[in-house]
Structure 1
Amino acid sequence: MIRAGIVGASGLAGGDLIRLIVQHPELELTFLGGSSNLGRRPAELHPGLRMDLGLTVEAVTEAVADKTDVLFLATPAPVSADLARLLADKGPTIIDLSGAFRIRTTELHDRWYPKVNRSTELADRFVYGVPELIGDQLPQATLISLPGCYATSITLALAPLTLELGLDLKTVVIDGKSGSSGGGLSMRKTDLHPLRNGAIAPYSPTGHRHAGEVRDFFERAKPGTIGSLSMSAYGVSHVRGLMTSSYVFTDQEVNQRDLHRAYTRFYKGKQFVRVRRHNETLIPVPDPQAVLGSNYCDVTVLYDEEAKRIVALAALDNLVKGAAGQAIQAANLRFELPEESGLTMQPVMPA
């Protein structure tokens, strides 16, 4: 068995990591780390997990290296940066779910994460990206940085255009909508039920840090290019789930049939990305409610003939494919297990 530890065990992503690891056939949960809930059991922190794992939340020290083969950091970015400095050369594979090491370019990192101090040398050692796109790098990786939930959705929606078709995307405009779990468990006035319920809140209308990491990733991945990339983000009253709509303008000739074929070809064999026609089900897809509880990302591509734009849509569960599930997927690839191990759950709908 592969010994797994979680730091940030009391958070939402930490809870989903516990849920997924305890039902994984090859992972054994051997450590729970944190700072604000020391001594508490998982069942106290996560009401849905009524199980005795024989573990309580402990402080994180270098000794965790002797207890784990893989350590998931479901922690704020400044905490992840500190823990990576402490543990990077101590033994366990580190899979970081925060933004500490997502953006390689120093100037761009400092813009979006000004409070996260990290060395360039350590940042360069992290492998970053969605497993579907960088999976061949993971078996040799000991430091892995996972994309944010929005970035996962956007990258999977755009990748076939650049990496498969090699298009030069002149302008990309992204509209993102996410449920309240995307903000974690921090209590903010705007997240109170009377203000959040039924809302469509433009909390980041002129830019979002996940767009920064998308740009950084695609600037390193060829052959296609992206000129201008901008994003607006909205909070909606769902708890789980997010959707991104990417409106893409290019001077190159495209059509609906070739676009759909390119997406289908690019994601052939990638079992967690479902390329869908938007009218193939009783409700238009992709829709976050059609993937909740699963590790799927549903992707649809359309061509707007009148406006001469590509519309790339993607939906996922931000706590699974956007966080804990993707982390397990990366661990599976790192340890050369079947990619679907522990992730075969189907979506729950209605939810």
Structure 2
Amino acid sequence: MSGDRGIRVGVVGASGLAGGELMRLIGQHPNLELTFLGGSQHAGRRPSELHPGLRQDLGLVVEPVTDDVADRVDVLLLSTPAPVSADLAARFADRVESVVDLSGAFRIRSDELHHKWYPKVPRADGLADRFVYGVPELVGEEMVGAPLISLAGCYATAITLGLAPLVFELGMNLDHVLVDGKSGSSGGGVHLRTSDLHPFRAGAIAPYSPTGHRHAAEVSDFLGRSKPGTVGTLSMSAYGVSNVRGLLASCYVLTRDDVDERTLSRAYLRFYRKHPFVRVRRNNETLIPVPDPQATLGSNYCDVTVMHDPDGGRIVVLSALDNLVKGAAGQAVQAINKRYGLPEETGLTMQPVMPA
């Protein structure tokens, strides 16, 4: 970015759900200018044709991604499947100021673990080590000036924000973490699958990943490098529910460390007091129990509640967010703000829409 010119942003994967959210958020950001929309299947189509909610004429149509894109953008946002992101990141890593990837291509640092969960996503040698990975609240200072940023997945965002105060603030040793995740249909994107057809999805609680999830591996890889606390095992079961947007990650933590509810509550409030997008809440503070994904929809908030279950010998952490905003597009804009030294809330002050 030079002089008073806005930050020029290109979105690849413009036809997807997260791509639509990126256009919506960039359009209301005072410092960002959308200058390129990339895609392969919908070349020549206007944003309003792909996303009915976007009626504003942006003067852009979807185009194939060619090498001259590097001359048209400062930031290239990759809202694309992991194999496509891996290819485009290698292609543009040293040609634009910053590449921000929303896929899973570079989230897992370990090559061995990456190959286990993303066997069809080859990466250029050494490229993963150049990416700053994570949630802005936890690695934001590393994002300042970063040329390559890999954002956490939607579930991984909820889980790491839920567990971070235990690991970073209290330095606890989490022997076992069991995660129960429930997410709406938008988490699966716009690909046509039988399981996502309305007759099967409506009213469903579908155990689509009951014995493992790549976002759990992502969290384990990240927290495994963290201090002062430790994480032993972290496993996850994921369920699809009939909501369109939003997810809830319920984390059940087993630890031998002594803890009480007051200590937990104070640690969470202390840890997040300077992070406006994480709202630490009491479970019974509103007319409906929270965290509830419905209370975050359309916003960049993650609502977190921590409780102690002395009878069960566990800590219960609940994290809720909008998977398309804080879990994807909003987090991308937040990362751009951090990268360019803008106030973190810039362009992201919208409140949740409820009921939705």
Q: Which residue of 2 aligns with 1:15?
A: 20
2:331 aligned residue (323, 326, 333): 326
Q: C-alpha displacement at 1:308, in angstroms?
A: 1.1
Q: Which residue of 2 aligns with 1:103?
A: 108
- In structure 2, the gaps of 5 or more residues are 1-5
Letter in 1 for 2:99: I
Letter in 2 for 1:229: L
* Superposition pairs of residues 174-213 of structure 1, within 5 angstroms: 174-213=179-218
Q: Which residue of 2 aligns with 1:299?
A: 304
Is 1:234 matched with 2:239? yes
SS class of match (2:113): helix
Q: C-alpha displacement at 1:318, in angstroms?
A: 0.1
Q: Which residue of 2 aligns with 1:83?
A: 88
TM-score (norm 1): 0.99
Q: C-alpha displacement at 1:52, in angstroms?
A: 0.9
SS class of match (1:135): helix
2:97 aligned residue (86, 92, 99): 92
Asked whether the 8 Å contact 1:171–1:250 carries over to 2, the reply is yes
Cα distance in 1 for residues equivalent to 2:346 and 2:67: 29
Is 1:130 matched with 2:141? no
SS class of match (1:18): helix
Q: Percent identity?
A: 71
The Cα offsets for residues 303-347 of structure 1, whole Å up to 9 and x where unpaired, read as: 001011000000000000000000000000001111101100000
Is 1:335 matched with 2:337? no
1:53 aligned residue (51, 58, 70): 58
- In structure 1, the gaps of 5 or more residues are none
Q: C-alpha displacement at 1:223, in angstroms?
A: 1.0
1:247 aligned residue (249, 252, 267): 252
SS class of match (2:156): helix
Q: Give the CA RMSD over aligned residues.
A: 0.5
Letter in 2 for 1:310: I
Letter in 1 for 2:96: G
SS class of match (2:68): helix
Letter in 2 for 1:302: M
Asked whether the 8 Å contact 1:62–1:90 carries over to 2, the reply is no
Is 1:316 matched with 2:321? yes
Cα distance in 2 for residues equivalent to 1:35 and 1:251: 52
Q: C-alpha displacement at 1:119, in angstroms?
A: 2.5
SS class of match (1:17): helix
Asked whether the 8 Å contact 1:102–1:147 carries over to 2, the reply is yes
Paired residues in the alignment total 351
2:30 aligned residue (17, 25, 32): 25
Cα distance in 1 for residues equivalent to 2:178 and 2:252: 5
Cα distance in 1 for residues equivalent to 2:343 and 2:72: 24
1:144 aligned residue (137, 141, 149): 149
List structure 1 runs of 4+ shifted beyond 4 angstroms.
none
Cα distance in 2 for residues equivalent to 1:123 and 1:175: 29
Cα distance in 1 for residues equivalent to 2:67 and 2:247: 36
Q: C-alpha displacement at 1:51, in angstroms?
A: 1.5
2:117 aligned residue (97, 106, 112): 112
Q: Which residue of 1 aligns with 2:295?
A: 290
Q: Which residue of 2 aligns with 1:349?
A: 354
Q: C-alpha displacement at 1:273, in angstroms?
A: 0.1
Asked whether the 8 Å contact 1:106–1:120 carries over to 2, the reply is no
SS class of match (1:140): coil
Cα distance in 1 for residues equivalent to 2:284 and 2:295: 13
Cα distance in 2 for residues equivalent to 1:148 and 1:217: 12
Q: Which residue of 1 aligns with 2:220?
A: 215
Letter in 1 for 2:342: L
SS class of match (1:293): coil
Letter in 1 for 2:329: A
